[in-house]
Amino acid sequence: MTYCLSDVHGELDRFHAMLELIGLREEDTLYIIGDVIDRKPGGVDLLRLIMGAPNMVMLLGNHEAMCLDTLGPYNTFGARSLWKSNGGGCTYRELVYATPVRERHEILRFLSGLPDCLDVQAGGRQFHLVHGMPGETTYDRVWGRPLPDSPAPFGDRLTIIGHTPTVYLNGDDGGPLRMWHGRGIIDIDCGCGNSTDRRRLGCLRLEDLAEFYV
């Protein structure tokens, strides 16, 4: 089976609970559509787990991009301030002060090699996986956001995204966050890492579009 989740944001316990809920097997594939790190303190441990798992495939999110802009070889001007203002402080401290230099470099190399979008097939359907929205540049693909009335990006593929908490697309009904189904788009970011107690980690099984929540 083929599964997608996104925006774990350091919530390691929820990630383990999701693996148990879906019963991920060695022959299954789990796509993680960016934003594993930041906001909560388990992000680096999540990266270690993903790096060591042959059946997990990670895509670049805007939080990994901010990490690379800050700690990567180019050290973009203003990047650390932007990252910190978006919840990157816990990841910065873990990587800089608590991770051996060699391992930190391995993690940064792993992040620098992540794809920013993927096309996959499952259950007879075609899917486009991207963190933010389909776009012309990496910046667009990791930072872009849909609107509730956004048209379908593709005619032949269903787009699976994260990045935008679904409450902004579904509207706030006061209940636990749930996936948003737009026109040719499914948003699976159900708010992990945010302060609301209505946040959940969502996982979508591509073969039958079954939804799982923890």
pLDDT in tens, 75-108: 778 899 999 999 999 999 999 999 999 999 999 9
pLDDT averaged over the chain? 97
On the question of pLDDT at 143 being above 80, the answer is yes
Q: Which of 184, 189, 175, 176 is nearest to 6 (CA)?
A: 189
pLDDT digits (tens, 9 = 90+) for 2-35: 999 999 999 999 999 999 999 999 999 999 999 9
pLDDT of residue 77: 82
- Hey, which residues does 30 pair with through a beta bridge? 3, 56
pLDDT of residue 75: 77
pTM above 0.85, yes or no: yes
Max CA separation in the chain (angstroms) = 47
Calpha distance 189→199 (Å, rounded):
9
Percentage with pLDDT > 70 across the chain: 100
pLDDT digits (tens, 9 = 90+) for 163-207: 999 999 999 889 999 999 999 999 999 999 999 999 999 999 999
Calpha distance 170→181 (Å, rounded):
9
Q: Which residues contact 175 (CB under 8 A, 6 or more apart)?
A: 198
pLDDT of residue 74: 80
Calpha distance 208→211 (Å, rounded):
9
Tokens of 119: 């096309």
Residues 33 and 131 sit within 8 Å (Cβ to Cβ): yes
